[in-house]
């Protein structure tokens, strides 16, 4: 029964190709830039997310779903569509975010970022890849099921959430789950094109932001010779930059140790890192080479294994910093301060989990006789995603969506139409396989 239903639905999706592209173009034309994204004008942008949610609600209704729009802030709606199953099957979530990142300088774009441009092979525009393409493909998978007369046994829950681009899961995916829209598996339509398109991504690393603040003692720059000759805990001067770099050296060695010491079978070796991304330092009074610097901050982005405990990662880092301070007279007397401004836990679903295996199989079946044929690549997301909140709620989840990861957030973002269609095909096959069909 499934094979026959599957081929009917896949035919329908191919027939809906132009309609899918047109719907994506409509979605891109809505400037749903996350209004709380850094350096954005909230009042100017708020409302775009609700508009996209409204567009999706229309598509979900065409698929026969009951829909609900609700938000944690005015103009920032989430949308959920529930396609009720006939009973006796497993339920499934299709999830994606309706917000996008800013387009930066529109003049750099070949085509204006919020006027979807369609050529023979691609849909261009902000959000074509991240991730209106995936959201629209999910909606069209549901629509094709309906048009092909395939009724699922389990419920299919379609989710379009606000706020993801600024990590506001509390008003997006977490709010939707808390409202009771859960299921027994979730496919997140983030773009997963990596080494090959439509990669299956069953894990997301933990992300931790750390700031280390080091103080020194300022003096005329010419005091450096005396400072070097007289290391002491009460010196004539102490360079906060020198001290900060001693700490950074130790953290770099720890990062090297992580290559062998912090591993996860879903990740390649060396994917867990302690990266120094911003340095700010100098003399408090005057950022000027005439002074020995008395303050320095180091900002790190740390990617750690999703199965590791946050406290364990933090304490390893704190001990490494403390080890440097213990051996250093100035730092012993003036201990560096460590703050953790942001944390986003990771999540994972085993490669051998029945849900991951089902999605791999669905992708393989859906792409037969297409340029994407073959067993899918399986690898983790490189960064934070909503996958975290599904696995934290006990819901197996994987990412799979159209578009290359390198296109996300970039100028001239564009998505291959063949990939959009193959993503929709994969979602439909996954729904039939997981939920069952009659």
Question: Applying CB under 5 A, which residues contact Zn ion?
Answer: 130-131, 190
Nearest approach, Cβ of residue 168 and Zn ion (Å): 13
Nearest approach, Cβ of residue 252 and Zn ion (Å): 30
Nearest approach, Cβ of residue 237 and Zn ion (Å): 48
Choose between 78 and 91: whose C-beta lies nearer to Zn ion: 78
Pair 124, 413: CB distance under 8 Å: yes
Nearest approach, Cβ of residue 352 and Zn ion (Å): 27
User: Which one, of 286, 295, 290, lies nearest residue 221 by Cα?
Assistant: 290
| Start-to-end Cα distance in the chain | 7
Choose between 131 and 420: whose C-beta lies nearer to Zn ion: 131
Nearest approach, Cβ of residue 9 and Zn ion (Å): 26
- The H or E element spanning position 28 is helix 17-28
- The H or E element spanning position 275 is strand 273-282
Choose between 130 and 413: whose C-beta lies nearer to Zn ion: 130
Nearest approach, Cβ of residue 387 and Zn ion (Å): 11
Choose between 130 and 264: whose C-beta lies nearer to Zn ion: 130
User: Can you tell me whether residue 201 is helix, strand or coil?
Assistant: strand
Q: Are strands 92-97 and 186-188 parallel, antiparallel or unpaired?
A: parallel
Nearest approach, Cβ of residue 131 and Zn ion (Å): 5
Choose between 49 and 190: whose C-beta lies nearer to Zn ion: 190
**CA separation for the pair 215, 193 (Å, rounded):** 44
Choose between 192 and 218: whose C-beta lies nearer to Zn ion: 192
User: Which one, of 381, 186, 343, 363, lies nearest residue 264 by Cα?
Assistant: 381
Nearest approach, Cβ of residue 97 and Zn ion (Å): 6
Choose between 190 and 413: whose C-beta lies nearer to Zn ion: 190
Choose between 131 and 145: whose C-beta lies nearer to Zn ion: 131
Choose between 130 and 242: whose C-beta lies nearer to Zn ion: 130
Contacts of 123 (CB under 8 A, 6+ apart): 21, 24, 25, 28, 116, 117, 133, 414, 415, 417, 420
**CA separation for the pair 377, 360 (Å, rounded):** 9
Choose between 77 and 165: whose C-beta lies nearer to Zn ion: 165
- The H or E element spanning position 132 is helix 132-147
Write the DSSP assignment of 347-411 as a string of letters. EE--TTSHHHHHHHHHHHHHTTTSTT-SSPPB---SS--THHHHHHTT--EEE--SSBGGGTTST
User: Can you tell me whether residue 296 is helix, strand or coil?
Assistant: strand
Q: Looking at the DSSP assignment, which residues form a beta bridge with residue 414?
A: 124
User: Can you tell me whether residue 171 is helix, strand or coil?
Assistant: helix
Nearest approach, Cβ of residue 193 and Zn ion (Å): 13
Phi (first) and psi of residue 70, to 5 degrees: -155, 150
Q: Looking at the DSSP assignment, which residues form a beta bridge with residue 188?
A: 95, 399
The residue number whose beta carbon is nearest to Zn ion equals 130
Nearest approach, Cβ of residue 346 and Zn ion (Å): 16
**CA separation for the pair 12, 140 (Å, rounded):** 10
């Amino acid at each position: 029964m499934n094979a026959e239903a599957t081929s009917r639905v896949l035919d329908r999706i191919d027939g809906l190709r132009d309609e899918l592209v047109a719907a994506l173009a409509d979605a891109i034309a809505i400037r749903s830039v996350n209004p709380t994204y850094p350096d954005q004008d909230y009042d100017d942008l708020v409302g775009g997310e609700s508009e996209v949610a409204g567009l999706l609600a229309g598509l979900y209704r065409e698929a026969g779903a009951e829909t609900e729009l609700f938000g944690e802030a005015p103009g920032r709606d989430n949308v959920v569509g529930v396609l009720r199953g006939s009973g006796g099957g497993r339920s499934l979530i299709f999830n994606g975010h309706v917000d996008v990142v800013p387009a930066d300088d529109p003049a750099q774009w070949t085509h204006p970022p919020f006027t979807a441009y369609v050529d023979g092979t691609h849909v261009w525009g902000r959000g074509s890849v991240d991730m209106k393409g995936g959201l629209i493909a999910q909606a069209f998978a549901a629509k094709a099921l309906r048009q092909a007369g395939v009724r699922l046994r389990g419920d299919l829950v379609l989710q379009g959430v606000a706020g993801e681009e600024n990590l506001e899961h509390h008003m997006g995916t977490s709010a939707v789950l808390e409202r009771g829209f859960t299921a027994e598996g979730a496919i997140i339509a983030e773009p997963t094109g990596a080494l090959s398109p439509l990669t299956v991504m069953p894990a997301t690393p933990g992300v931790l932001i750390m700031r280390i603040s080091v103080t020194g003692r300022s003096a005329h720059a010419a005091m450096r010779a005396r400072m070097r000759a007289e290391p002491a805990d009460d010196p004539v001067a102490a360079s906060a930059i020198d001290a900060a770099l001693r700490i950074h050296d130790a953290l770099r060695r720890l990062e090297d140790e992580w290559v062998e010491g912090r591993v996860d079978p879903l990740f390649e070796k060396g994917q867990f890192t302690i990266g120094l991304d911003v340095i700010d330092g100098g003399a408090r009074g005057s950022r000027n080479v005439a002074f020995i610097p008395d303050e320095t901050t180091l900002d790190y982005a740390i990617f750690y294994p999703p199965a590791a405990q946050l406290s364990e990662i933090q304490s390893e880092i704190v001990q490494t910093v403390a080890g440097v301070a213990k051996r250093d007279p100035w730092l012993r007397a003036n201990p560096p301060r460590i703050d953790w401004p942001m944390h986003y836990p990771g999540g994972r679903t085993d490669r051998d989990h029945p849900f991951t295996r089902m999605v791999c199989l669905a992708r393989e079946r859906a792409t037969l006789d297409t340029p994407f044929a073959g067993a899918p690549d399986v690898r983790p997301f490189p960064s934070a995603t909503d996958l975290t909140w599904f696995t934290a709620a006990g819901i197996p989840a994987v990412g799979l969506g159209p578009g290359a990861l390198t296109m996300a957030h970039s100028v001239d973002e564009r998505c291959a139409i063949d990939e959009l269609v193959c993503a929709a095909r994969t979602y439909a096959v996954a729904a039939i396989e997981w939920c069952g069909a009659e």
